[in-house]
Amino acid sequence: MIKRYFLLFIGFILLVAMAAPPVQAGGWKGHHHHRRDKEVRVDLRVAGAFYNGLAQVGNFDVPPVDPPADPPDAVFLFHTEAKGKPGDATIVGVNQGPGGGSLPPIFITGIPTDETGCFEGADLKQIPNPDATQNENSLVATFKDLSVLNIAKDEGRLEDAFNCIGFDPPRFDAVVPIKFVGGFGRFEGATGKGIIRVQSMPVVPGSNFGSEIGTITGTIILP
């Protein structure tokens, strides 16, 4: 009986030893692991609502012109919930300035092809003018531990941004390159890059208020 218990005890010790993580030899690998911890993956699913200070895309009734007319200033307000990495959050944002709100002034390229990345049935694709400026395009993500992450459009990657528009039924998809620009709590001093992909539609056709879903992906670099 004692021998049996002894063997069971030895087996338990071996099991624990096998499950334990290996010990790092020296200090360099441990330091390298610490550096990798400063890179925080962003992989969020978002859903919520928006308000558009101009008529929603379903109201666009002017065909494309060449050269395109300068669009009026617009104001978009966003309120969404986010789930995923680096934690669940509430995201509030404002896009204000010339163009469609979420992007700088645009020029219309006509009916999109399969290579544009637009959804099937899209009527128009809008792409930003990289030389244009915008007053404000910012998001604030507040996490459950009350840490805050600031997000802004990345002016250096505007050539990667575009909108796809459908008229019937009205639908608006956007791809916006972003950068992380500090915050509070665990995101103080944060930098890094990412991208927002969002799909939205008015609650009723022609409404200035609508719903949206999408994703935010990228990498946060902590100091």
% of the chain beyond a pLDDT of 90: 42
Whether 205 maps to a domain, the answer reads yes
Query: In this predicted model, what pLDDT tens digit does every residue of 161-220 receive, in sequence order?
Result: 888 888 888 999 989 999 999 999 999 999 999 999 999 999 998 888 999 999 999 999
CA atoms in the 13 A half-sphere facing the CB of 173: 17
Whether 4 maps to a domain, the answer reads no
Q: What is the mean pLDDT of residues 92-116?
A: 64
Whether 33 maps to a domain, the answer reads no
Query: In this predicted model, what pLDDT tens digit does every residue of 20-53 receive, in sequence order?
Result: 344 343 333 344 444 445 999 999 999 999 998 7
Beta carbons within 10 angstroms of residue 130's beta carbon: 13
The per-residue pLDDT for 32 is 43
Whether 13 maps to a domain, the answer reads no
What are φ and ψ of residue 6, in 5° steps?
A: -65, -45
Domain assignment of residue 178, given as a range: 45-221
b/e per residue 60-81 (b: at least 16 CB within 10 A): eeeeeeeeeeebeebebbbebe
Is pLDDT above 90 for 73?
A: no
Domain count, the chain: 1
| CA-CA-CA-CA dihedral for 70, 61, 198, 148, to nearest 10 | 50
The per-residue pLDDT for 219 is 98
Which has the higher per-residue pLDDT, 72 or 201? 201
Whether 18 maps to a domain, the answer reads no
Whether 189 maps to a domain, the answer reads yes
Whether 17 maps to a domain, the answer reads no
b/e per residue 25-55 (b: at least 16 CB within 10 A): eeeeeeeeeeeeeeebebebebebebebebe
Whether 26 maps to a domain, the answer reads no
